[in-house]
Amino acid sequence: MKALFDLSGKAAIVTGSTRGIGLAIAEALIVAGARVVISSEDAAETARVAARLDTPGMACDVADDAALARLVDFGMAELGRLDVLVCNAGITGRPGPFADVDMDDYARVMAINLRSQVVLCNRTLPRMAASGGGSVVLVASLAGLRGNGRINAYALAKAGVAQLARNLAVEWGPRGVRVNALSPGFIATDLSRPLLDDAAFMARRMAMTPLRRPGTPEEVAGAAVFLASPAGAFVTGHNLVVDGGTLITDGS
């Protein structure tokens, strides 16, 4: 059964991969045998993580179309091919209702969380198809599947990411490229530390989660490996929710 999750010889790019979920996905792909390009907008962090993992790294602001093109060219030059793309980079933006939305912040959230994935896929998928196929994992969110009164543009962008996966799956499936979305729920990361330390929030959120605990980055990474590997070879256009059951619960 090991071969089902074997990525030996495969080449991958993971955006936003110097911390949290992105880093866990990059590490899991490497453990599965893939060669991985590390990337984030922070050049020093990218270099540090790439050196620790002994793998190539390139700083990239995903809001910059030219930088995304350079990232794909860098991956091809360093690895010789691209078989797996994980679009993980994203920001939450300013919290609040749409009635009070700052449209400049809205534009940046949409650019980083959604537009960048369109641009990066357009740069990468033709190369994957030309070499026989590949797998793309677009990181969406549980927020894109539920109504939310505070994370406005973020939730809207993540809903768009899931639809992007469906559209690209239809478009590129005939050429051997699978495209799926991955929607984490509440995951324990450094960025979620303020919420983890908020006892009232945690009591309410865990009561809404059948498994009664936050997820871990490694648990999200395991789902990404499944989608990238032969184990997921007949899965495309899917939005895999990794949320401990929050989406389906009635709060019991």
Q: Which residues are catalytic?
A: 154
**Dist. CA 136–CA 83, nearest whole Å:** 8
H-only helix segments in the chain: 20-31, 43-53, 65-79, 103-110, 116-130, 152-172, 193-196, 199-207, 217-228
**Dist. CA 47–CA 30, nearest whole Å:** 17
**Dist. CA 140–CA 154, nearest whole Å:** 10
Other Cβ atoms less than 10 A from the Cβ of 83: the count is 22
From the number of C-beta atoms within 10 Å of its C-beta (0-12, 13-18, 19+), residue 8 rates as exposed
Burial code (b: 16+ CB inside 10 Å, e: under 16) for 65-80 equals bebbeebbebbbeebe
Residues contacting 77, CB < 8 A, separation 6+: none
Give the bridge partners for 241, in sequence order: 183
**Dist. CA 187–CA 213, nearest whole Å:** 9
Is the Cβ–Cβ distance between 115 and 164 less than 8 Å? Answer: no
**Dist. CA 244–CA 198, nearest whole Å:** 19
